[in-house]
Amino acid sequence: MLGAAALVECASMNATRTRPLVIAHRGASGERPEHTITAYRLAIAQGADYIEPDLVMTKDGVLVCRHENEISGTTDVALRPELAARRREKTVDGVTAAGWWVEDFTLAELKTLRCIERLPRLRPANTAYNGQEAIPTFAEALALARDAGVGIYPELKHPSFLREQGLDPVSAFVEAVRAAGGQSAADRMFVQCFEVGPLLTLAQMSSLRWRCVQLIAASGGPWDRPGTAYAEMIADPGLQAMRLERGVTAIGVEKSLIVPRESAGRSLPPTDLAARARRAGLAVHAWTFRAENIFLPLELRRGEGDAAHGDLAAELRAFYAAGVDGVFSDFPAAAVAALR
């Protein structure tokens, strides 16, 4: 259980929010290759409250910003003949894939690669920026957010898997935050994870105070809690347990848990999750909002084809009206504009 002072502080953080937060999902990743300094800078210029770096770990223990530790889709590693022999098959959180893995490279080796657009079919304009930037470290993202005066919202990716590789992402995360200013850096941050253990470790720390966000998908459960379903965690007892026993400040939920869709792809009425979470003392941040038709409900699609942009503003307004406290968006400018 958390101490009373920590609980009061978390409640105060929730109570002082005056409008939904705009969280730049992997930066302004709808307009620049994701997890690049340029994507983060554009998001900041567009008015995002937070930039969101996903964190994986190099062979020599450095946290870097990639959505996944397999990097063939987000870097030019597959085009480097000298690295062909580094390709291998791994199983991460039950999913088997072949490719190149961050934890097999030192930071120096990783910095020789260049970032590319992950979704070139949907975002062909972003390919103009391919090959221009190296993978940023978490320390570089922290410095950028600090200097720009915005928040940062890191996600710890696959911590159980990384521990199995002999790496310690939670300790490295804490040390990076301490080096960036300690509590002053933590105060400008939410930290998120799909697993339970890392957030519990952070919440129980006595030296630093964290705003922890439990990520919740529409199916499955946390990898480090076999037999526990996300559906159980967002029932009323589960919400109370997250808040009171695990020190969670907010839940980061897949958006269909707030506004479901029918089988044909049309939106249904909102659920009561946002209201129930708020009664439990938890903020609700929903993911992920994207402009392309393929990601939008049927009634908000416009034009022809999956890549055409639909009415993202209408979807965002519906979620703001449903009571969410923040949105993760690939298009932070649209999320900011919809607040008006």
Instruction: Find all residues with CB under 8 Å of 25, minimum gap 6, and list them.
Output: 52, 287, 288, 289, 328, 329, 330, 332
Is 67 labeled as catalytic in the residue annotation? yes
Catalytic residue among 25, 35, 158, 285: 25
In terms of DSSP bridges, do strands 54-57 and 63-65 run parallel, antiparallel, or are they unpaired? antiparallel
Cα atoms in the 13 Å half-sphere on the side-chain side of 106: 2
Strand order in the sheet with 21-25: 63-65, 54-57, 155-156, 191-193, 212-216, 248-254, 283-289, 326-329, 21-25, 50-52, 151-152
| Rounded Cα distance, 272 and 288, in Å | 19
| Rounded Cα distance, 301 and 231, in Å | 29
Instruction: Find all residues with CB under 8 Å of 199, minimum gap 6, and list them.
Output: 191, 193, 212, 213, 214, 246, 247, 248
| Rounded Cα distance, 293 and 291, in Å | 6
Neighbouring CB atoms inside 10 A of 58's CB total: 23
| Rounded Cα distance, 51 and 149, in Å | 11
Is 35 labeled as catalytic in the residue annotation? no
Catalytic residue among 35, 67, 158, 285: 67
| Rounded Cα distance, 81 and 89, in Å | 18
Q: Which residues are catalytic?
A: 25, 67
